Amino acid sequence: MTLALAVTGRGLVDPTEPVIRADDDALGRGRAVFETLRVYAGVPFRLSQHLERLVRSSAVVGIRQPDVDELERLAMLALGSAGVHDAALRLYWTAGPPAGDPVGVVLVAAIPDWIEPARARGQRLLSLLSPRRSAPWLLAGTKSTSYAAHMAAEMEAKARGFDDALFDDADGVVLEGPVTNIWWRAGSTLSTPGLELGILAGETRAALIELAGSLGYDVTEGAFMLDAVLRDAEEAFTSSSVREVMPVVGIDERTFARGPAAAELQTALRQLAGSPGV
Ligand SMILES: Cc1ncc(COP(=O)(O)O)c(C=O)c1O
C-alpha cells in the first residue's frame, strides 16, 4: 500500500494521482531505474549508497543523471508525510518522454506483511537458468525496471511449489535471486557470489560483509557451482533491503536446517540500521 508519494518538480502528490506520461520510455521500453530501501525508525538505511547506485544504473541504461539532492529532499518529504517509523522507500527515475525530461518518483509503502512469517518459516528456492549479465548492455549490476524476467522466474518457482527462484547460469554457477543476493555457510565461512558475475551489488550484501567478521565469520566471494553449494553448505540465506536476512530451508531437492548465521546477521543488521550515521 502506498502511504505517500513525491515527484520531481511537483513535490508531494496524492498517492492515487497519475505521475508518468503514457509516452515515457519507462513504459514503452522499460527504460527506468529504481531503488528500494528500508526505513528504520523514520531513517532510510544507507540512502546515499542507494542514490549512488541509482546514478550508476542511470548511466548504464542511458538516462540523464538524477539530481540526488532533490531525490533525497523528496524522500524526506514523503517520509514526513507518511508519518510511519518502518517502511519501504522506493525511488524511480524514468527515461522520460521523447525530448522530454526524466521523472523522479518517490514512494513510501508499508513493509509487506508476508515477510516476518516467511522469516520464521524459511524459504524454499528453485534454481532456474538465467543468462549471466556479463556486459553493460545485459544490464550487469544494474537495477532497471526491466524486471519482468525476474518476476516471471518468481512466478515459475511459485507455480512449482517453491517460494522464490535462485538464478544459476548455463555453466551451473550460482548468481542471485530475482530480488535478492544469495549466501551460504560451511563451518565459519560465509560465501556469496562475486560482483564480477554481473550480479547486483546489494547494499544489504555489503552491510553483511562488514558485519560478518565481528560475529566470527569469514567471507569468500567468487564463482561457485550450484552442485558444490548443494553438497557442502550447512546453512543458506538470502539478503535484500526489504526482506533483510531471509533463511533458506531448501534449494531444489536439498533441504537445509536453520543455522546460526542468518539469525545472528539479522540481529546485527537491525542493530546497525538502528545506529546513527551508518
Ligand atoms: C537482482 C537483485 N539482486 C540483489 C538485490 C539485493 O539488493 P539490496 O540488498 O541492495 O536490496 C536486489 C534488490 O532488489 C536485486 O534486485
pTM: 0.97
Question: Which residue's CA is minimally distant from atom 7 of ligand 1?
Answer: 202
Span from the CA of 180 to the centroid of ligand 1 (angstroms):
5
Q: In the structure, which protein residues have their CB atom closer than 6 angstroms to any atom of ligand 1?
A: 36, 143, 176, 179-181, 200, 202-205, 239-241
Beta-bridge partners for 245? 239
Nearest to 183 by CA among 242, 229, 114: 229
For residue 181, count CB atoms less than 10 angstroms from its CB and return exposed for 0-12, middle for 13-18, buried for 19 or more.
Answer: buried
Span from the CA of 203 to the centroid of ligand 1 (angstroms):
8
Beta-bridge partners for 88? 38, 109
The HSE-up count of residue 32 (CA atoms within 13 Å, CB side) is 26
Q: How far apart are CA 261 and CA 268, in angstroms?
A: 10
Beta strands 123-129 and 104-109, pairing class: unpaired
The pLDDT tens digits along the chain (278 residues) read 899 999 999 999 999 999 999 999 999 999 999 999 999 999 999 999 999 999 999 999 999 999 999 999 999 999 999 999 999 999 999 999 999 999 999 999 999 999 999 999 999 999 999 999 999 899 999 999 999 999 999 999 999 999 999 999 999 999 999 999 999 999 999 999 999 999 999 999 999 999 999 999 999 999 999 999 999 999 999 999 999 999 999 999 999 999 999 999 999 999 999 865 45
**3-state secondary structure at position 99:** coil
Span from the CA of 88 to the centroid of ligand 1 (angstroms):
14
Span from the CA of 240 to the centroid of ligand 1 (angstroms):
5
